[in-house]
Amino acid sequence: MKEITKLATVALVFGTSTLFASSSDYALTTKYKLFNDMKLAQKQQALIVSMNQSLDLKVIDIKTLKKSKEKFSKVLLGLTTGNRDYKLKGTSIPQIKSKLSEVQTLWNKELKVLSHVESNKADKQKAIAGLNTLMIKMSEAVSMYNKSYKRYKQNSMLSSIVNRHLGTKPALALNNIR
């Protein structure tokens, strides 16, 4: 069990590394419309780890598990369709939308297993295995958000260079990016 938690934590750190590396680019982060969605997708990974840890205890932490399940469900739906409470825009990028659909399918199956986990120890192991699969798919979605942000950043930088060369006013203040 501890090895699974370590694996999930490594995936979480890997998925968030691009965000931390680029969070100093204020002009870009404020203009990229899916930046908050990207951050909350990364936090979804932390919720999966939290649920996994709740199940990994001798006595299952039902309260934490329930809160994590509710938040995960709301944010997952918001990543696809938007959610005002979480300030989620929802994505229209087909690859990300498709991956989130895969995550939603896995999550629906996992919810059924998690609902029976209190009474059946076998379901506990099945739930942990399902959360690990869910973590892999969520990490893939986070990676897609990161790639989208990198493309946005590259396009913005290129646009700034072209505009400077043409003598027009740059769209973003990118002269501080190193």
pLDDT digits (tens, 9 = 90+) for 143-161: 999 998 888 888 878 777 7
Is 101 part of a structural domain of the chain?
yes
Coil, helix or strand at residue 113: helix
Q: Which domain holds residue 105?
A: 2-149
Long-range interactions of 32-35: CB distance < 8 A, separation 24+: 32/149, 32/152, 32/153, 33/89, 34/89, 34/91, 34/93, 34/145, 34/148, 34/149, 35/149
User: What's the predicted TM-score (pTM) here?
Assistant: 0.74
| Number of domains into which the chain is organized | 1
The closest of 172, 176, 142 to 32, measured between CA atoms, is 172
Q: What is the pLDDT of residue 59?
A: 81
Is 138 part of a structural domain of the chain?
yes
Largest Cα span, the chain = 69
Is 60 part of a structural domain of the chain?
yes
Structure confidence by residue, pLDDT tens digits, 99-110: 999 999 999 999
